[in-house]
Amino acid sequence: MRLCFGTYAKVLLRCRRTGVTQVELGREMLLSVNGNVSVHYSDSSISDLVNGRKNLGHSDVECARYGSIAEIAGRFHNEMEPLLDENMVSLAVAAVRELILGDKDIGLLTTVDRVCGLSKADLERTSCYEPWSFLAGILIFVASGVKNRGTEQDCVSVEGLFTEDLDVMAASLTLVDALDRESSHLCRVWADGPSSLDVMKGDLFELVGRGGKVSSKAIAVVPVDSDFSTEISRRLEELDEHGVSEKTIHGKWLLRLMSDGLSKAELDRRISDVLSKQGLMEGQTSIGSVSVIDVGATAYYLLAVSRMDQNGNAQSSSGAVEQALVSLVDFYDKHGQGYPLYIPLVGTGLSRARMSARESFEAIRDVFTANRERVHGSVSIVVLPGTWDELGLDDDGKGSGFR
C-alpha cells in the first residue's frame, strides 16, 4: 500500500464527521493546496482523485512544491477541522503514520512532513504530534509528487489499516496544539491567518535543540556579536579579552553544540559558508547580519546585535538592537519557509545595550508587529520565568505586557 493523494484522502474520509461527503472532503483538500484559484475539478474528477484513478493537475503540484508552507498549513487547518471528527483526529494521525511506515517506496531519510520537517525515520520514534501541522505537512508532500503514485487497489486497501491495534496506537499518541498552550504559558499578541506573534514563558534551550520540548522543525534566534565569535572565555585568570562569556545565550549555545561534537573549526566554517552565500566576507559583517547553523530539527539563526571593541568587549545600543531585529524579520521573510521562530529577549545582558527586559520585549513586539505582513509563520518571544513576572504577565495570558 502506497502513500499518495488518494490513499491519504481515504484515511481522512475514515475519520470524517457524519454527513461529510467524499467530494466535499476532496475539494477542501485541493483548496488547501491551491487557495489562489477556484477548484477546477468536477465532482467526478474529485472522486477519481480520491480513488486513485487520476493525477493532480500541474498547477496544484506547483503550488504544493513552491507555495508558502505556512499559508497551505493555515488553509488546511481552517478548511479541514470542521470536516473531521475531533475524536478521531488521533486515529487519522496514527493511520497516516502507519501508511508511510509501510510504504517501501519512501526512503527512511525522506522528509514526508513538509510543515514540521519530519522524515520517515523520525516517525518511527515520534509519539507526540501537532496534529494539524502534521496532517498539513503530509498533504503538501503527497500533492508535490509528479503523479498520484497509488492505484485504485491501494485506495481500497486503506480500510485494512483501521484495526484494533491502530486504535491502541492512536490512544497512545500525544497530541498538542503548537506547544500545548496551557502548560507552556503562552500569551497571544496578534494573529493574522497562519502567522502570529506570542510571548511564552520558558528557556530557549529547554524548548528547542537536543532534548527540547519542540520536536518538529523550528528556528531559534541566538544573539551574537558581529564577528560571530566562537571562542569561549572559561577562566577569569586567563584574561581572555576576546572570548564569549558562558553566561550569555551565545556562550550557552556554543557549549551545547561543542558538547554535541561540533568543533570550533567546524562552527567557524559553517557560519562563514552561510555568510559568504550572502556576499559577506570576513570583516564585512555588521550588526543585523545573520548566519545559520542547522542541527537536527533546529535551525539556529545567529543574529549580530553587538560589535566587539578593541578590548574585546561587546558594544551595542537600543537603536542597534532594533536595527538587528528589522534585519531578522527580513531574513525570516526570505528564508524561514514558514517554520516557527523562537526569540529570547535581546540587548538585556552583556551586549551592553543596557535595555531592560520590558524595553527588549517591547522592541521585539513592535518590530514584528510593524512588519506583520512579512511574517509568515508563528513567532514566539521566549521569556524566562522570573522575567515573565517583571513584565506583569499572568499565567492566564493577561497582564500589562500587551497594553
Reported as type and span, the H/E element at residue 13 is helix 5-14
C-alpha cell at 347: 540587548
Q: How far is the C-alpha of 97 from the C-alpha of 119, rounded, in Å?
A: 11
CB neighbour list of residue 211: distance below 8 Å, 6 or more residues apart: none
- The per-residue pLDDT for 195 is 82
Q: Is the pTM of this model over 0.85?
A: no
Phi and psi based region of residue 352 (left: phi greater than 0; alpha: psi -120 to 50; beta: remaining): left
Q: How far is the C-alpha of 260 from the C-alpha of 255, rounded, in Å?
A: 9
Torsions phi, psi for 314 (to 5 deg): -70, 140
Per-residue pLDDT of the chain (403 residues; tens, 9 = 90+): 889 999 999 999 999 999 999 999 999 999 999 886 556 788 898 998 899 888 888 888 888 888 888 888 888 988 899 999 989 999 999 999 999 999 998 998 888 998 888 888 888 877 778 889 899 999 999 999 866 666 788 899 999 999 999 999 888 887 766 544 434 466 778 877 678 898 988 899 988 887 777 767 889 999 999 999 998 876 555 545 567 888 889 999 999 999 888 999 999 999 999 999 999 987 788 999 999 999 988 999 999 998 866 655 667 788 999 999 999 999 999 999 888 999 999 988 655 677 888 999 999 999 999 999 999 888 999 998 888 877 876 544 444 444 4
Please tell me whether residue 220 adopts helix, strand or coil conformation.
strand
- The per-residue pLDDT for 387 is 86
Sketch out the chain's domains with CATH numbers.
Answer: 5-175 (no CATH), 181-402 (3.40.220.10)
Reported as type and span, the H/E element at residue 77 is helix 69-80
- The per-residue pLDDT for 395 is 47
